[in-house]
Amino acid sequence: MTTEATPDVLSAELDTAFAAFADRPALIDETGASMTYAQLNAMANRYAHALAASGVGPGDRVMVQVAKSVSNLALYIATLKAGAVYNPLNTAYTPAELDYFMGDAEPSLLVIDPKAADALMPLARQNAVGAVRMLDANGDGDLADLAADQSDAFETVPRAASDLAALLYTSGTTGRSKGAMITHENLASNARTLVELWRFTADDRLLHALPIFHVHGLFVASNVSLLAGASMIWLPRFDAEQVVDLMPQATAMMGVPTFYTRLLATDRFTKDAAASMRLFVSGSAPLLAETHDAFADRTGHRILERYGMTEAGMITSNPYKGERRAGTVGYALDCVSVRIADEGGTEQGVGDVGVLEVKGPNVFAGYWRNPEKTAEDFREDGYFISGDLATAEEDGRITIVGRAKDLIISGGYNVYPKEIETELNDLAGISESAVIGVPHADFGEGVVAVVTLAPGEATLSEEAILSRLQGRLAKFKLPKRILIADELPRNAMGKVQKNVLRDAHAALLTS
């Protein structure tokens, strides 16, 4: 018997939550002031009208590079209600990086901080962006002004499960960033599964200190909280001392491993400070077993580690009840299939290392205007090739053991060595470069570049190279150190041996 799948549309599910939890607090700020679901809904509705008034129609991209604020969250929800495609960008991206995104995504509206207007307006004109509006860190600006005059009611534009809800750029091993096309079903199915698995309810208060331009802060933390009717303690950024102060009001937190190492580094973070908490979730980068154990010793809580990626949302999770084993990422989520395969796609045996492949309603619709790359990363039977190396146990428990892709994860942000190497190689005076990730006490991995200089450039210094990279690359991508070498180690095939460099410089950023 075939059962017809119910269409999963995130905007419709959010509307259901807004109606069901109207009088409950959706957001609480650091002073304790709160905003109800009805108020957040009304604000999002006003923004949805403002989007329409700015020329945004269904399917149009709304590109957003603004500081985290309540208005920013309302703008995200408004974009979904308007049937448009939300395209958030890391606030650290430089104008040079935005130039590329504008040309690729062709947004009908760009929303930026007024401080960036001088640098970005000319680029928006060159890229024929439909309209540009402002929103600052306090939620003020001409977009907010436009929204303020609009009606509190908005008829959500009907969407199909397969319609795009968001476009998120992820860098790649082969060059420019690619836009991951994320559907309403991807987001709705993932959020619902996590609400259930992690037992979120309207009684929860989630400490929200993640940025909302990536999957973790936006689709995991925010969508899960909103669909559950929970409250978010809405913080502009992660500050360990502030988080310790506010923790007694919270029941749950989601963070990257750096959040947890920074909490452990403050003596004020005690078992008592965490007494009201029922759940700590970690992801976006590997959580060291020693961090997991130290956290359990300090607080009595075992951090729940999960694994995911932009293209597939959340893929696996340790159990809520049951063993949360340090160093593993748990089991495939409900309705999600994973397999560990070799390069040819043949499934590996229990315990054998291979690349993790994933299939399910969480898996994205492909790369924006890039069918070749999409075809390359999907198997014929619909599995997406993650590029992460993993093993599976007999009962399906997954451990991520490494990466088949050349990728550094620093404080939860992805940095692709290829992108940095391309910039370095373009600089006059540099002959060649190799960018590696080495252990970093705070960020897990830190970016290091090893370069060789062109003949006659012996005076080019580390500082000079770094200053030339500034403004071209987001700050978190900038190498923490640039080492000048006579030559790069190569194997018999002439390929740079990054493992040799990683071993040689393993202690560079920890000592």
- Per CB under 6 A, does 388 bind ligand AMP? yes
- Per CB under 6 A, does 386 bind ligand AMP? yes
Among 310, 362, 399, 410, binds ligand AMP (CB under 6 A): 310
Interface residue list for ligand MCA (CB under 6 A): 210-211, 214-217, 237-238, 256, 258, 283-284, 308-310, 410-413, 443, 475-476
424: left (phi over 0), alpha (psi -120 to 50) or beta: alpha
- Residue 17 has φ and ψ, to the nearest 5°, of -65, -40
Q: How far is CA 85 from CA 21, 71, 273, 450, in A?
A: 25, 17, 40, 39
Task: Rank residues 180 and 326 by Cβ distance to ligand MCA and give the closer one.
Answer: 180
Task: Rank residues 39 and 414 by Cβ distance to ligand AMP and give the closer one.
Answer: 414
Mind giving me the DSSP string for 427-479? STTEEEEEEEEEEETTTEEEEEEEEEEPTT-TT--HHHHHHHHBTTB-GGGS-
Task: Rank residues 42 and 215 by Cβ distance to ligand AMP and give the closer one.
Answer: 215
Among 83, 88, 107, 283, binds ligand AMP (CB under 6 A): 283
- Per CB under 6 A, does 181 bind ligand AMP? no
DSSP, res 490: B
* Dihedral of the alpha carbons of 110, 116, 118, 122, in degrees to the nearest 10: -30
Question: Helix (H, G, I), strand (E, B), or coil: what is residue 33?
Answer: coil
What residue number has its CB nearest to ligand MCA? 411
- Per CB under 6 A, does 255 bind ligand AMP? no
* Distance of closest approach, residue 31 Cβ to ligand AMP, in angstroms: 32
- Find which of ligand MCA, ligand AMP, none residue 388 binds, CB within 5 to 8 Å per kind: ligand AMP
Nearest to 176 by CA among 427, 408, 401, 370: 370
Task: Rank residues 25 and 411 by Cβ distance to ligand MCA and give the closer one.
Answer: 411
- Per CB under 6 A, does 308 bind ligand AMP? yes
- Per CB under 6 A, does 154 bind ligand AMP? no
- Find which of ligand AMP, ligand MCA, none residue 170 binds, CB within 5 to 8 Å per kind: ligand AMP
- Find which of ligand AMP, ligand MCA, none residue 476 binds, CB within 5 to 8 Å per kind: ligand MCA
* Distance of closest approach, residue 239 Cβ to ligand MCA, in angstroms: 8
- Find which of ligand AMP, ligand MCA, none residue 226 binds, CB within 5 to 8 Å per kind: none
Half-sphere exposure of 31 (CA within 13 A, CB side): 2
168: CB partners within 8 A, 6+ apart: 87, 88, 179, 180, 182, 214, 215, 310
- Per CB under 6 A, does 414 bind ligand AMP? yes
Task: Rank residues 134 and 509 by Cβ distance to ligand MCA and give the closer one.
Answer: 509
Task: Rank residues 242 and 370 by Cβ distance to ligand AMP and give the closer one.
Answer: 370
* Dihedral of the alpha carbons of 222, 223, 224, 229, in degrees to the nearest 10: 90
Query: CA-CA distance, 37 to 230, in Å (whole number)?
Result: 10
Nearest to 160 by CA among 45, 10, 19, 55: 10
- Per CB under 6 A, does 330 bind ligand AMP? no
